[in-house]
Amino acid sequence: MNALRDLARQLLEAGEVKVVIGYEDSRRGVRPAFVSDPADVDRLIFDARCVHNLATYLNPRRGHVKRLGRAAVVVKGCDARAVAGLLREQQIAREDFVLIGVRCGGVFDTPDATGPLDAASIAPRCHGCTVREPSLPEHVVGDLPPEPPVGRDLDAEVARLMAMPAAERLAFWNRELAKCVRCYACRQVCPLCVCERCIVDKTQPRWIEPSAHTRGNLAWHLTRAQHLAGRCSGCSECERACPEGIPIHLLNHFLAGVVRDAFDHVVGDDPDAPAPVGAFRKDDAEEFIV
Amino acid sequence: MARIGVFVCHCGENIARTVDCAAVAGSVADHPSVVCSVDYKYMCSDPGQNLVKDAITEHGLDGVVVAACSPHMHLKTFRRAASNAGLNAYLVEMANIREQCAWIHPRTPETTVKATDLVRAMVEKVKQNVPLEPIRIPVTPTALVIGGGIAGIQAALDIAEAGRDVIIVEKEPSLGGHMSQLSETFPTLDCSQCILTPRMVDAYQHPRIKLYTYSEVEKLEGYIGNFEVTIRKKGRSVDIDTCTGCGACMEVCPSKKALDEFDMGLRTRTAVYTPFPQAVPNKPVIDREHCLHYKAEARAIARGKPVKAVCQKCAKACAADAISFDGGDELIKEKVGAVVVATGFQLYSVAKDQPEPYLEGYGEYGYGADPDIVDGLQFERLASASGPTGGKILCPSNGQAPKTIVFIQCTGSRDPAKGIEYCSGVCCMYTAKHAMLYQHSVHGGRAVVFYMDIRATGKGYDAFTRRAAEESGAEYVRGRVSAIYRADGKLVVKGVDTLGGEPMTVQADMVVLATAIRPQPGIKELAQKLSISYDQHGFLNEAHPKLRPVETNTAGIFLAGCSQAPRDIPDSVAMASATAAKVLALFSRSEMEREPQVAKVDQATCSGCFHCERACAYGAVEHLEVKDRRGNVLRVVAQINPGVCQGCGTCAANCPSKSIELDGFTDAQVFASIQALSL
Amino acid sequence: MRFGYYPGCSLHATAREFSESLLTLVKALDVQLDEVEDWACCGASSAHATNHLLGVALPARTLAIAEGQGLDNIVAPCAACYGRLAGAAHEIEGDAALKGQVAEILKRPLGTPPEIINVVGFLQSLLPEIQPRVVKPLDGLKVACYYGCLLLRPHKVTRFDDREQPESMEQVCAAVGATPVAWNKRIECCGAGFSLSRTGSVIRMGREILDDARAAGAEAVVVGCPMCHSNLDMRQPAMNRGQAGAGALPVLYITELVGLAMGLDPKAMGLQRHYVSTQPLLDRLSTAVAVAEGEVS
Amino acid sequence: MSHSEHGPPLTREIRARTGIDPARCYQCGKCTAGCPMADEMPTRIQQIMRKIQQGREELLEDPSIWLCLSCEQCSSRCPQQVEPARLVDALRELAMERAPGTAPRRIGAFHTAFLEQIKLNGRLYEFGLVLGYKLRSGALLDDVESAPGMMARGKLALVPTRIDGLDDVRRIFEACERRDSSSEEEAK
Amino acid sequence: MFEPRIVAFVCNWCTYTGADLAGTSRLPMATNVRIVRLPCTGRIDPLFIVKAFERGADGVIVSGCHPGDCHYSEGNYHARRRFRLFKELMDFTGIDSDRVTFSWVSASQGQKWADVVNGTTERIRALGPFEGYPGSEEVA
């Protein structure tokens, strides 16, 4: 914690950055904090409630954050994957910001969680985490906390669904997607939704119906999932942001599995690693094509 | 409100037999914004076309749908007709109610319904069509030919003869390439020099051909019709224009130890040299690795000492005063419209040291270290009248004529264990030639040819190999050689006769290895400079293995000769002429006209993720900086170069925000078709 | 320095001088060899030729024991044993299924097998120790280094410096003052596998090899394989029989040659056990040997 | 191996046992050219390869497969990396299982005597080997000259050394022989 | 009998030409399929398929050049990856991916095109109308 604050103070005092984007405590749990005054660095904290993927504030769509000036962003190993994604797609330039990596022992599902971090309360994305020690950031602070408890595994969740008869699965998703009110919170929070003009906002022609109806909803969520395939950093902020509690991250997680098995690619935090998007292998499997 | 005309063709009975054309025309007539809908026996006939033209003027149509055969058949026809009538050609579409309806369905109501649907869908599409103009790209009618071997010379001459300018870049000091090293050529056994030299001179003297020898391509920028090439002219130290080619410099040069590349190291040459007597231009160059002055200069610089003039006997001996030790490399820029890559080949070496990690030499052949184990090109030099032995085939070790000679085909080729799995194509033929040349030169000698298969598919080729076996009496033995070593002064060749099923050992005086053909060293670097692709061995990739064998995936860049795959002289020459034809077609007009089916980026909504760039096989996507008034870069967005874009639309489908449209198949057009057809 | 050690059957009998010379040598170099406990025969040259699994399982037992002993390498002087041990290690490493199968048969766990070192590699690695101890360089004794097959092949197992033109044996010999001759049959097989069963063939093959060595001017043949040795040494009279000008050509283990250069006692190294007398050769080097004996006794 | 389902039974069996696809052999003969036994083999190694491709069962009775020294020169030089020596090992293995006693008497005798020794002592007792071999092969008078020489040179131990882990060795033999019979059944 | 409506998205160079060949060879085919001609399978966005279903199609055919034959040399490779994702996603969301036929049909494979058309039609007939959108009628 002190290391984090000291570093933040140095960066601000040295004028290396104008703002440090990290986490702070609040009555309703942890929330993102924007610290621009060295005197305020003690607001900054990091613990298992720091769920948010702050990389999203580097997303070029967030002009208002940009206007705050050069930023230092606190990222967990998993968040760094999103930063790498933005770099990979030339959305941001590495020299324009500073990364403060934090060693992570797993996080809760929600930022207002209380009690111990255990199998029940830990976020599914922490399952089998390999990036507790971030590698992309120029600064890494804190000691490596103990191995996180083994909790829910999304693969199991996917398997459970795939085990259902197709009709049941369809019913499940129709039920879930029917709830969607098309508030696009999933899009807003996503660090990798970088489009200047999202496809749902394209009117000529209108590929995706904007009305909150299963047809448009399905089209929207299928499209969103595909646009994130091979790019999604797995932070599942979309799901947390969803006011209707739709398990939308499952779609991303499922496709991540497909990308891994079919294209032999796993999204990592190396900005220079080639992405499977807009790429192919001549021997990609095609058993589904007659 | 659009004004669409629909014209339903009977195609004689072809369509009318199963489709009720009148009904189709009738039911489409009251489709929204259809202002005229007629059917006629033969739409593609003159009266039929006139029907369309008249309707365009009469009804002021802004869209035409011809329901007839496949657009592959007549779309151009009707588009031409329409533009003659003053309607933009790209406002015309065809509904295919023949191949994909009338001919595959019985005469039932459903068939007519389907035909109507297809027409309606096309009407909906045409409503979304916009006028397009063919894309015109200015063309610089000058060709760059990389490589001055037979392929390069042929391409250059063909293009120049057709009245276009050509620039040849050859990395050696002379034109000619490998062909100039050959003694005779198969299948006619005429002398290589005799047929090649005139071509070299023609190319040299041609008013439309500019020749850069001892030069290499440094950089290529731009796109089809509009390339700019940077050429590195290596320091020659001899002024070609003032040099008279008298050769006095070579006589006085004290450095005589350099291995003669042209003679494949079978003799040495001086540091200032012309590669061979018929060299074009016949002007020497100073080899800075071996020249005493340059060696001293290098040493001095290394030690940080002042550079002093050393030797320079050649300069003193030069009456024309053409030699200067000051000049270094020179970079020259030229504008060209097309590029022919004819960089040729090198021979695989059986030596232990290999240029690529995946290649292995032949330890079992003593890595070819024995002086009497030579490769194909060395043998050519031994057999060549201008060669080190004046055309007598003699063992390098002792200058004796080999009483017994062994030729080994497929050395390196078709040998995955050594790293090369492909067939080199020419070895069967030149080995047969070698066997004949040997028999002509060493009477009563014994020639044994170890081969795997005889691949002699060219005209007169098989007869040629038969002659080698039957008339010249070369012993053809099918089998690979396991080992070669020297014992009691002989080269012991441990082979096998697989047809007889017997091991077979030959005591030979000379062994000739028909080593594999490999692309030139540095080919991959060149390919990267030209942004064209290559296979794992470095052979350059053609655009389509069957239908576009001399084109690359980069428009305006073409391939000739061994740069693309192992080839013999006739094939290389034919291929070179093919590239010339392609180049000349491109140069036939001052502007290239291309179908306007290209992608466009909506820069307002592009977020610059460049998924499009990754997906483009043609490198048509460029980065465009969007700047504010003060010139600060706000965003970088994608921009598509219409000259390079081929119109496949892969970028459009890859664009997450649908900020790319493909003219002719815009989202609006596709959307309209889907709407109409799914209901 | 310590190495694991697998003598193998023949070093206890037909190749006694090989083990004697090796042990004398390591003593002089104060290198310690830890013998694999209760090792069994590697199965060469019958097991792998008739039952693949057997050909792997037998040496695998030795590997497992050595691993248990905590040896991370094993010197296997006998080229046949070396081939079988290294081969087995290579195979079980490359084939998890086989590894499991063998482990089950052995009722022993199989981890990462120790590195198997052949006698040439062993001596090469010891050259820094050996060279300073060379009291009497072999003043240019012309030797034909004979690799045979087992040391060299399969290349993917032995990873010898060069499958066709190896040099490591020559390097060792040159390092102790001998002059390796260039000859052709270095990597040909001598047929030892058939020494008993097809003596005729073996004589033919051995003869070709010896003739080539002589033609190259060799005064001795140097080997690293007991089978080659017993073959070229014991059967040499038969090989030379009826060969005009085929003088007896001593066949030395490379350990013996190095030992002589270090002035070690020829008797201790078992040179008297050879069929082809080594005496003329010893006389040629007599002065050196005399000095050496003085030191040893 | 991807093609293990193709080809005649023998070809399939060999492919299954070695993981090498005999179809890769393109009959260049480099194996025969370098084979030290080529002159003595009725069926040359390259011809053996061809017969494996054809699945010719008579290979299992062909003495040639017993004339391979396993010197691996062929494998080392095979352009297609087919490893003929390895395939021949597999053939011998098969022959022992399916057609025992087809090995030329002396060679068979040698192998049997050899393995007998290992089974008995866990190590090779060469004197025993020689005796066993001679009894089996009937080559009683071969090499009589060398035996005494060996004694004199202390090269023939007169008592075998037995290892403690003999039952280990026995178990290994049993397991491997079991596998033989089982794969024999598979073959049937 | 249920007559499904099937939309086919095909590339201009291989499959469209193959379909023309099927026509010139007069190969009988079900009348249920309507072709949308596109330059290349690379142009096909999965949304085309989604939209077709939304608009009432019961089945979809997607067809282009065999790998290595693409007129644009790589378009079909990119398409193949897109289709892989889309197909898996259909299965995951329970939309029967049997309603979509992915195929490579070359310009010379008229018969194969006929088989694809008839096969798909039969399959969709068996599956019945597409009802992936409960309450579709609300806005339809």
| DSSP SS3 for E79 | helix
Please name the chains neighbouring B, where neighbouring means 3+ C-beta pairs under 8 angstroms. Answer: A, C, D, E
Asked if D34 lies within 8 A of B452 by C-beta distance, the reply is no
Structural contact between residues B274 and B283, judged by C-beta atoms closer than 8 angstroms = yes
- Residue D103's pLDDT is 76
Using a pLDDT cut of 90, give the percent of chain C over it. 58
Asked if A90 lies within 8 A of B610 by C-beta distance, the reply is yes
Task: For residue D143, give the chain C residue with the closest CA.
Answer: C196
CB pairs under 8 A between A and E: 117
Asked if C40 lies within 8 A of D122 by C-beta distance, the reply is yes
* More confident call, B605 vs C14: B605
Structural contact between residues E127 and E33, judged by C-beta atoms closer than 8 angstroms = no
Query: How far apart (Å, rounded) are the C-alpha atoms in residues B141 and A64?
Result: 52
ipTM strictly over 0.90? no
Mean pLDDT, chain C, rounded, equals 89
pLDDT of B406-422, one tens digit each? 999 999 999 999 999 99
| DSSP SS3 for B442 | coil
State the sign of the Cα–Cα–Cα–Cα dihedral B347, B351, B355, B359: positive
Size (chain E), residues: 140
| DSSP SS3 for B588 | coil
CB pairs under 8 A between B and E: 128
pLDDT at E133 > cutoff 70: no
Identify the band that residue B567 occupies on the pLDDT scale cut at 50, 70 and 90: very high
**Residue A207: which of B610, B635, B658 has the nearest Cβ?**
B658
Q: What are the extents of the domains in chain E?
A: 6-127
- Residue D145's pLDDT is 57
Q: What are the extents of the domains in chain B?
A: 4-132, 135-229+331-344+538-591, 235-328, 346-518, 595-663
- Residue B634's pLDDT is 87
Mean pLDDT, chain E, rounded, equals 90
Q: Which residues of B touch C212 (CB under 8 A)?
A: 487
**Residue B605: which of A196, A227, A279 has the nearest Cβ?**
A196
**Residue E31: which of B111, B553, B662 has the nearest Cβ?**
B111
- Residue D158's pLDDT is 66
Q: Which residues of C touch D153 (CB under 8 A)?
A: 16, 272-275
**Residue A195: which of B613, B656, B672 has the nearest Cβ?**
B656
Angle of helix C79-94 relative to helix C52-69, nearest 10 degrees? 90
Q: Which residues of D touch B500 (CB under 8 A)?
A: none
E131 touches chain A (CB under 8 A): no
Using a pLDDT cut of 70, give the percent of chain A over it. 100
Strands lying side by side in the sheet with B34-40: B34-40, B4-9, B63-68, B92-96
* Average confidence (pLDDT) over E105-125: 94
* Average confidence (pLDDT) over A105-118: 90
The two structure tokens encoding residue B345 = 């080949």
- Residue C161's pLDDT is 85
- Residue C110's pLDDT is 87
Identify the band that residue A195 occupies on the pLDDT scale cut at 50, 70 and 90: very high
**Residue C54: which of D129, D139, D172 has the nearest Cβ?**
D172
Provide the shortest C-alpha distance from residue D38 to chain B (in Å). 7
Asked if D79 lies within 8 A of B501 by C-beta distance, the reply is no
- Residue B459's pLDDT is 95
Interface of B with D in 485-504 (CB under 8 A): 494-498, 501-504
When the candidates are 3.40.50.1390, 3.40.50.960, 1.10.260.40, 3.40.50.300, the CATH number that belongs to E6-127 is 3.40.50.960
Among B408, B415, B481, B498, pick the best mutation site for testing chain D contact (most D Cβ within 10 A): B498
Asked if A194 lies within 8 A of B671 by C-beta distance, the reply is no
Single out the residue of B261, B248, B330 nearest to residue B290, CA to CA.
B261
Q: Which residues of A touch B668 (CB under 8 A)?
A: 204-205
Identify the band that residue D3 occupies on the pLDDT scale cut at 50, 70 and 90: very low
- Residue D140's pLDDT is 62
Task: For residue A207, give the chain B residue with the closest CA.
Answer: B671
Angle of helix C16-28 relative to helix C254-261, nearest 10 degrees? 40
Which of the residue ranges B72-86, B158-172, B269-283, B521-535 would you say has the lowest mean pLDDT? B521-535
Q: Which residues of A touch E85 (CB under 8 A)?
A: 226, 229, 255, 258-259
Query: How far apart (Å, rounded) are the C-alpha atoms in residues B376 and B543?
Result: 31
- Residue D133's pLDDT is 77
Return the top range by mean pLDDT from A57-71, A244-258, E62-76: A244-258
Query: How far apart (Å, rounded) are the C-alpha atoms in residues B295 and B297?
Result: 5
- Residue E138's pLDDT is 39
* Average confidence (pLDDT) over A252-279: 91
Q: Which residues of B touch A227 (CB under 8 A)?
A: 656
- Residue C51's pLDDT is 84
Which of the residue ranges B539-548, D6-15, E95-104 would you say has the lowest mean pLDDT? B539-548
Which of the residue ranges B241-255, D147-161, E11-25, E60-74 would you say has the lowest mean pLDDT? D147-161
For residue E37, the 8-state DSSP code is: E
Q: Matching CATH topology for B135-229+331-344+538-591 and B346-518?
A: yes
Among B657, B660, B669, B673, pick the best mutation site for testing chain A contact (most A Cβ within 10 A): B657
Report CA Rg, chain C. Answer: 19
* Average confidence (pLDDT) over A194-216: 89
Q: Name the CATH architecture for the domain at B346-518.
A: 3-Layer(bba) Sandwich (3.50)
* More confident call, A74 vs B224: A74
User: In the CATH hierarchy, which fold is given to the domain comprising B4-132?
Assistant: Rossmann fold (3.40.50)
Structural contact between residues B651 and B615, judged by C-beta atoms closer than 8 angstroms = yes
The two structure tokens encoding residue A47 = 């613990």
Asked if A208 lies within 8 A of E134 by C-beta distance, the reply is no
* Average confidence (pLDDT) over A71-93: 94
> E strands within B348-482?
373-375, 404-411, 446-451, 475-478
Mean pLDDT, chain B, rounded, equals 94
User: In the CATH hierarchy, which fold is given to the domain comprising B595-663?
Assistant: Alpha-Beta Plaits (3.30.70)
C215 touches chain B (CB under 8 A): yes
Contact between chain D and chain A (3 or more Cβ pairs less than 8 Å apart)? no
Q: Which residues of C touch B363 (CB under 8 A)?
A: 162-165
Domain B135-229+331-344+538-591: give its CATH superfamily: FAD/NAD(P)-binding domain (3.50.50.60)
Identify the band that residue E37 occupies on the pLDDT scale cut at 50, 70 and 90: very high
In chain C, how many H helices and how many E strands? Answer: 14, 8
**Angle value at C-alpha A187, between A183 and A190, nearest 5 degrees:** 140
**Residue B104: which of E17, E22, E51 has the nearest Cβ?**
E22
Residue B233, beta-bridge partner list: B215, B330
Q: Which residues of E touch B659 (CB under 8 A)?
A: none
CATH of domain D3-98: 1.10.1060.10
Q: What are the extents of the domains in chain A?
A: 2-141, 154-263
C267 touches chain D (CB under 8 A): no
E36 touches chain B (CB under 8 A): yes
pTM: 0.72
C184 touches chain B (CB under 8 A): yes
* Sequential pLDDT tens for chain C (297 residues): 889 999 988 887 788 899 999 999 999 999 999 999 999 888 877 887 778 888 899 999 999 999 989 999 999 999 989 999 999 999 998 888 889 889 888 888 888 889 999 999 999 999 999 999 998 888 889 999 999 988 898 888 888 889 999 999 999 999 999 999 999 999 999 998 888 778 889 999 999 999 999 999 999 999 999 989 989 998 898 888 877 777 889 999 999 999 999 999 999 999 999 999 999 888 887 755 455 455 444
Identify the band that residue D141 occupies on the pLDDT scale cut at 50, 70 and 90: low
Query: How far apart (Å, rounded) are the C-alpha atoms in residues A76 and A57?
Result: 14
Give a three-class secondary structure readout of chain D.
Answer: CCCCCCCCHHHHHHHHHHCCCHHHCCCCCHHHHCCCCHHHCCCCHHHHHHHHHHCCHHHHHCHHHHHCCCCCHHHHHCCCCCCHHHHHHHHHHHHHHHCCCCCCHHHHHHHHHHHHHHHHHCCCCHHHHHHHHHHHHCCCCCCCCHHHHHHHCCCCCCCCCCCCCHHHHHHHHHHHHHHHHHHHHHHC
pLDDT of C74-133, one tens digit each? 999 999 899 999 999 999 988 888 898 898 888 888 888 899 999 999 999 999 999 999
Provide the shortest C-alpha distance from residue E5 to chain B (in Å). 7
pLDDT of B418-470, one tens digit each? 999 999 999 999 999 999 999 999 999 999 999 999 999 999 999 999 999 99
Residue A19, beta-bridge partner list: A71
**Residue A222: which of E50, E74, E96 has the nearest Cβ?**
E50
Single out the residue of B415, B405, B410, B351 nearest to residue B382, CA to CA.
B405
Domains of chain C with bracketed CATH: 2-117 (1.20.1050.140), 135-292 (3.40.50.11810)
Single out the residue of B283, B288, B255 nearest to residue B269, CA to CA.
B255
Identify the band that residue D2 occupies on the pLDDT scale cut at 50, 70 and 90: very low
Asked if C163 lies within 8 A of B363 by C-beta distance, the reply is yes
* Average confidence (pLDDT) over B127-151: 95
Structural contact between residues B188 and B172, judged by C-beta atoms closer than 8 angstroms = no
CB pairs under 8 A between C and D: 159
Among B536, B607, B628, B660, pick the best mutation site for testing chain A contact (most A Cβ within 10 A): B607
* More confident call, B377 vs C13: B377
